[in-house]
Amino acid sequence: NNNLALLYTGKEDYQNALRFFQKAYELIRQLRTNREQAEALINIASAHEGLKDYEQAIKIAQEAMRIAQEEQDLRLMRKGCGLLASCYEKLGKSDQAFQYFEQFSALDRQIKAEEYQSIRKEADTKVAVAEQELSRTAGLLKETSDSLAVVARLAQIQKMEIELRTSQLREKEAQLKYERYIRRTMFVGAAGILLFLLLVSVMLVLKVRDNRRLREQKKKIEEQNLQIQKQNELLDLQNRNIKDSIHYANTIQKAILPSEDEINEISSSAVLYLPKDIVSGDFYWFSHRGNEAVFAVADCTGHGVPGAFMSMIGSMLLNEIVNEQNIMDPAKILQELDQRLFYALRQETSENTDGMDIAILRANKSDNRTWNIRFAGAKQPMIYCSDGHYHIIEGDKNSLGGFGRKSEKKIFTSHHVVLQPNDELVLYTDGITDQPDQNRKRFGLQRFQEFLVGHMNMPPDEKIAQLRDELRQFTAEPQRDDITVWIVKLR
């Protein structure tokens, strides 16, 4: 039943998947352990999530979390936190979603730390054993070398004594010279043969012993290589698990970005969104009511996973400020977002200095079909095209968040322009202008503006495709930062 359910899940047939997951759970509850019951409940909750029955999915996932906590199973707890965070996010309950995201991250770090410590301890033990064996082998080889030196010295002394006796006997017994010469010759020959046999015997014994030790060492080295291979395979598995987690975070991050259908109700637009890593510290945000819309592009502190967390916080706060509190003026939105980031990151009492650079514009279509544009930026500009010319409006020099006290309320300038239908707006982060080529020369604002002028009459989607190609041809080094470019053509 469980395998059939997983097959239906892969086909996104969540109704049949749910039916088979429930059958599997009934069997597991009768025959298996609490841990397997918790895992079956998480599968059922995932199927409810696929059916968009988020409330039921949360209820079942919380029951699974209760069992996992009783069993102290960190991996099931991590899986449950991820599922609950996803469901709360889709229900629009950002506080609960963020709470479970934090629990998910804490459990993931704890699991990875325990696995790393276990592998490190086992590797250190193997290295210590190998070092001891190497030291013992070196000592034995030194003893063998000393023994051979002693034998050679004794042979030399013995030979010298024989020669001295022969000389004395030659002087005293000249008449027996021939006979004693024969004896001496025979004695020396016998001694030489014995010495040779002794040396050969010693060398054979040492050779046999060394070969035996070499075989033992070779066997141990092969065993150690096998252990190292297994450890490498385990590290590869952990690396894949980490990448899978980051890819899952990427799926969540993409879910909070605005959809093209929603944006295209009032404009024709396209986005170049190139994270430096799998997840991005850049994000873009959109909200509209009737003929009024708010656009935002932000560059958060850092990139990768830390930047992605900041982007989710920024998106959540913009939803609260614009959609819930109905604050529509860009300068006031920046002030409120700065204060909320300060409190959300507890920067008054902690050493946290994270923040973001962001550009926000509000577009309001008047009765005479012109567009009133209000813009404010925190270290981020806006480019607009009107009457066949591109113009740039610089943002203020303050970033959001970072150092400061809650009493220091930052002031942001609100700019106003009037545009006609088919005029163009461009919001971007500095990742594109700071990207270097093989000579470490930046792409630059001038090159970016020349590109816009050279493709002025091209639709936004084709213009973004051309920009992607030009950036690929220009870039020789790895991408330095997250890149976001949003081109909007007003209807």
Angle subtended at Cα 212 by Cα 206 and Cα 215, rounded to the nearest 5 degrees:
140
Angle subtended at Cα 64 by Cα 63 and Cα 70, rounded to the nearest 5 degrees:
95
Judgement on whether residues 193 and 333 belong to the same structural domain of the protein: no
126 within a domain of the structure (yes/no)? yes
Reported as half-sphere exposure (CB side, CA atoms, 13 A), residue 130 has a value of 16
Backbone angles phi, psi at 431, to 5 degrees: -60, -35
* Of 287, 302, 219, nearest in space to 257 by CA: 287
Is it the case that residue 91 has pLDDT exceeding 80?
yes
Judgement on whether residues 468 and 339 belong to the same structural domain of the protein: yes
C-beta separation of 28 from 40 below 8 A: yes
Backbone angle region of 321, left / alpha / beta, with phi > 0 → left and psi within -120 to 50 → alpha: alpha
Domain end: 75, 92, 109, which one?
92
pLDDT band at 277, cuts 50/70/90?
Answer: confident
101 within a domain of the structure (yes/no)? no
* Of 55, 54, 61, 48, nearest in space to 18 by CA: 48
Judgement on whether residues 264 and 375 belong to the same structural domain of the protein: yes
Per-residue b or e along 425-457, where b marks 16 or more CB atoms closer than 10 Å to that residue's CB: bbbbbbbbbebbeeeeebbebeebeebbeebee
225 within a domain of the structure (yes/no)? yes
382 within a domain of the structure (yes/no)? yes
pLDDT in tens, 334-369: 999 999 998 888 887 777 888 899 999 999 998 888
Query: What's the CA gap between 88 and 85, in Å, rounded?
Result: 5
Q: Domain containing 64 — which CATH number? A: 1.25.40.10
105 within a domain of the structure (yes/no)? no
Judgement on whether residues 149 and 34 belong to the same structural domain of the protein: no
Does the CA dihedral 198-203-204-209 come out positive or negative? Answer: positive
Judgement on whether residues 285 and 426 belong to the same structural domain of the protein: yes
Domain end: 202, 235, 250, which one?
250
Judgement on whether residues 150 and 285 belong to the same structural domain of the protein: no
C-beta separation of 309 from 390 below 8 A: no
- Please tell me the total count of domains within the chain: 3
% pLDDT > 70, the chain: 86
Extract the tokens encoding 267.
């404009």
Mean pLDDT across the chain: 84
Angle subtended at Cα 103 by Cα 54 and Cα 249, rounded to the nearest 5 degrees:
65
110 within a domain of the structure (yes/no)? no
Q: Which residue has the higher pLDDT, 371 or 263?
A: 371
Domain that holds residue 184: 117-250
* Of 469, 475, 471, nearest in space to 437 by CA: 475
Query: What's the CA gap between 434 and 264, in Å, rounded?
Result: 30
Judgement on whether residues 66 and 132 belong to the same structural domain of the protein: no
Judgement on whether residues 197 and 148 belong to the same structural domain of the protein: yes
Give residue 326's pLDDT: 94
Judgement on whether residues 72 and 196 belong to the same structural domain of the protein: no
Domain end: 250, 274, 309, which one?
250
Judgement on whether residues 217 and 366 belong to the same structural domain of the protein: no
Extract the tokens encoding 61.
């996932």
Extract the tokens encoding 408.
């220091």
Is it the case that residue 150 has pLDDT exceeding 60?
no
Query: What's the CA gap between 40 and 23, in Å, rounded?
Result: 10
109 within a domain of the structure (yes/no)? no
% pLDDT > 90, the chain: 31
pLDDT in tens, 75-87: 888 888 988 988 9
The pTM assigned to this predicted structure is 0.54
Write the DSSP assignment of 2-44 as a string of letters.
HHHHHHHHHTT-HHHHHHHHHHHHHHHHHHS-HHHHHHHHHHH
351 within a domain of the structure (yes/no)? yes
Extract the tokens encoding 421.
């239908």
Judgement on whether residues 269 and 217 belong to the same structural domain of the protein: no
Is it the case that residue 234 has pLDDT exceeding 60?
yes
C-beta separation of 49 from 87 below 8 A: yes
Angle between helices 304-318 and 94-172 (to 10 degrees): 170
Judgement on whether residues 298 and 368 belong to the same structural domain of the protein: yes
pLDDT band at 383, cuts 50/70/90?
Answer: very high
